[in-house]
Amino acid sequence: MKNGLDFLNLLNCDVSLKILTNLEDPSDLVRFSAVSRSWRQFVIENGLLKHLCRRMFPQLSRVDHVNELCGTAKGHAEAGSSNFMEWEALKREHRVYAFFARGCLSFAPRECIYEAIIASSTDNDPEEGIHNTLEPRDRVARRASYWSSKGQSNPAVPETLTYRLCADLCVITEINVRPFQAYFQIGKPIYSANSVRFRMGHVKSCMDNIVKESCQDCGNEKFAWTYTSQEFPMAQENCLQNFRLPEPVLCIGGILQIELLGRVQRQEMDSLYYICVSHVQVVGRPLSPAFGIQTFEHTEKFVLEALSYKQPTSPAQSSSAPTLQMRVRDLEQILNLLRGNVVNVVEYGYEWEIEDEESDEEDEDEDEEDRE
């Protein structure tokens, strides 16, 4: 404000709004509002941070209102004139969306899956269950680790894998999926899908009911989806394939579903098509414990709640639920081996002798020497 002149007073409201709504970084709006009381009032009265957050994350259009449940909440519970209450509500929105924008951009990115919920089908449960996809390795204690669908004669039949994330609000940036290669079958086929698609949303009914029931049609009946991605082609390769979303997506409700579309590999034994996944990884920024939500039944709206205005610390990876599950599973497998309960492994009807990979390679070298 050179020579004490405020350019907002020299421009009409529409021009000022057009200038400020072109800002793309929330921190620029926060700095702008800190220049003077009049500029702060202009930003708050026009809800500029709220509108910017909605541009960044269209899923926020479902917000009915915001609440502050932390110690700094003030004004909304007090009696007063309608103008006073309206101003306090606007200031509350400004605070909540300012910290929300900061969290979306600065909270530490991490693995976001908390637990595997259910798969649309499983060939041999629990040996080939969805919980295996939380394990980064495709072999655990010399046993194959993967999820397998049931076989289908029609390669167009899709499958779904549904997961609960570590927070009700997560900003998801990428999803990684590794198809499983059946190294114990002739030709070592890879049971990938033709393409993948991702859905994010929240639960409509009790989570216990979802886990107990069949989930073939759960995408429409059990969950409310707030985001559906485009289709991404999947390669028939035994590697962790990266599917980076075009823009970061706000997952509202902490549920993520992977749709596996199209089957490409037929099993030689029964001539049926299968999809098998070794590992799934979801990368993003959990906004818990700073933020939470309250969803309304029979409506797509929700309440955005500010629970704390403190920057969360990076979580200790050793305390994460998936890591603990992996350790328990490893221990069970090792105990079975020590007890002599596992002699060989049968997968897809093929008997696979348990041997170290190195010994297999040594045998192959010896065979080549004998031929020479």
DSSP states of 152-175: BSSTT--EEEEEEESSSEEEEEEE
Are 44 and 124 contained in the same domain? Answer: no
| Tens of pLDDT, residues 326-347 | 555 556 555 555 555 543 433 3
Does residue 88 sit in the same domain as residue 123? no
pLDDT tens track for 159-173: 999 999 999 999 999
Contacts 24+ apart (CB under 8 A), 361-369: none
**Residue 260 has which token pair?**
């596996």
Assess whether 198 and 266 both reside in one domain: yes
Partner residues linked to 223 by β-bridges: 203
Same domain, 68 and 210: no
Do residues 238 and 280 share a domain?
yes
Out of 266, 290, 314, a domain closes at 290
Q: Check residues 78 and 122 and name the one with the higher pLDDT.
A: 122
Q: Is the pLDDT of residue 91 over 70?
A: yes
- Whether residue 343 is contained in a domain is answered as no
Query: Based on the structure, what is the number of domains in the chain?
Result: 2
Domain range for 20 is 7-106
In this predicted model, what pLDDT tens digit does every residue of 260-305 receive, in sequence order?
Answer: 999 999 999 999 999 999 999 999 999 989 999 998 877 778 999 9
pTM (whole model) above 0.85: no
Q: Which of 240, 262, 290 is the last residue of a domain?
A: 290
pLDDT at 212 over 70: no
Residue at 337 is within a domain: no
Band the pLDDT of 319: cuts 50, 70, 90: very low
User: Is pLDDT larger for residue 356 or for residue 310?
Assistant: 310
Distance CA 148, CA 132 (A): 10
CA dist 275 and 180 (Å) reads 8
User: Distance from CA of residue 285 to its chain's centroid?
Assistant: 9
Give the model's pLDDT for residue 171: 97
Instruction: Compute the distance between CA of residue 71 and CA of residue 264 in angstroms, rounded to an integer.
Output: 55
Same structural domain, 88 and 235:
no
**Which of 82, 106, 130 is a domain's end point?**
106
Q: List the single range of 83-87, 156-160, 175-179 with lowest mean pLDDT.
A: 83-87
Angstrom CA distances, 343 to 127, 147, 184, 351, 356, stand at: 16, 22, 15, 11, 13
pLDDT at 8: 72
